[in-house]
Amino acid sequence: MTAILTLVANREATTLTREDIDLATTLAAGRTAATLSDGEAVDIPCAPLTPAQIDAIRTALSSRFIDVLYGPGEGRRKRVLVADMDSTMVANETLDDIAAQAESLRPGLGGEVAAVTRRSMNGEIDFATSLRSRVALLHDLPASLLEQAWKEVRINKGAKTLVATMKANGAVTALVSGGFTWFTDRVAKACGFAEHHANTLDIHGDRLAGTVSEPILGPDSKLAHLTRLASAAHAPFAATLAIGDGANDLPMLRTAGLGLAYHAKPAVRREIVNRIDHGMLCAALFAQGYRRADFVEC
């Protein structure tokens, strides 16, 4: 069966050259590359590769700001997209941002919450336990901190184009986050997701209660949403794309036909073969064989 090795350059840092393409083609024992975007992305048909071979190609190009993606030649365009929010669709960790906004009220809170977040996203502590403990630290803070944090949220480059292009080609799209519906509702609308799912942050009057409504949406719930959406679309897992950065994304990344680790934490990078380490979210479209001319730019 033919496989496809896809090279995607971060155009803000470099240009994909003939030397880059030739090097990857040689290491993959591949055939003539097909251009997806001049100076940015190519597909290289090849025989099936092992994870070790893919890592060797990635290492050879590591100084060139080029992402190396890989998959079967058939069924490349996915019919279901499930995406994480924090540090994936947006550049922020929104819970950390809420705590950071409270620094003048509780000095040191921002750093304390961010430290737990880092450990949780790297799989060092249980997600649900860490979420409850971090939210508890917000007890009795003003709910207006959410609006302040929202002003700092930045949607990552390529997020809107990724969603719009897949929707235009018939894919079901969902934003599924271990964060909070207060933010996913806004991000989903901004990016064009058909639906969104997250945790509910409890608010009493104008104050944060310091609790999250049960049950917690964690790693298993993300996988459950991927499974539900695939079933509803009558799509096998091979026809699904999941993208995320943290340990709580691993179950859905392992299961999806194309699981993409996006600028991910070390624990995720160690396990997931397909990674966007250098570029933008549009790399997820190139990985499906879309040409730049096919993109629905937003």
Choosing from 67, 84, 97, 249, the catalytic residue is: 84
In degrees and rounded to multiples of 5, residue 40 shows phi and psi of -125, -45
The reply to whether 249 belongs to the active site is no
Amino acid at 208: L
Q: Which two tokens stand for residue 296?
A: 């629905």
Cα 253 to Cα 261: distance, rounded to the nearest angstrom: 8
Cα 155 to Cα 153: distance, rounded to the nearest angstrom: 7
Q: Which two tokens stand for residue 235?
A: 């799509």
- Residue 281 contacts residue 84 (beta carbons within 8 Å): no
The distance in angstroms from the start CA to the end CA of the chain is 35
Cα 225 to Cα 296: distance, rounded to the nearest angstrom: 26
- Residue 239 contacts residue 71 (beta carbons within 8 Å): no
Amino acid at 174: A
- Residue 240 contacts residue 77 (beta carbons within 8 Å): no
Choosing from 86, 96, 97, 245, the catalytic residue is: 86
The reply to whether 84 belongs to the active site is yes
Tell which residue, 286, 297, 89, 86, has the closest CA to residue 193: 89
Catalytic residue list: 84, 86
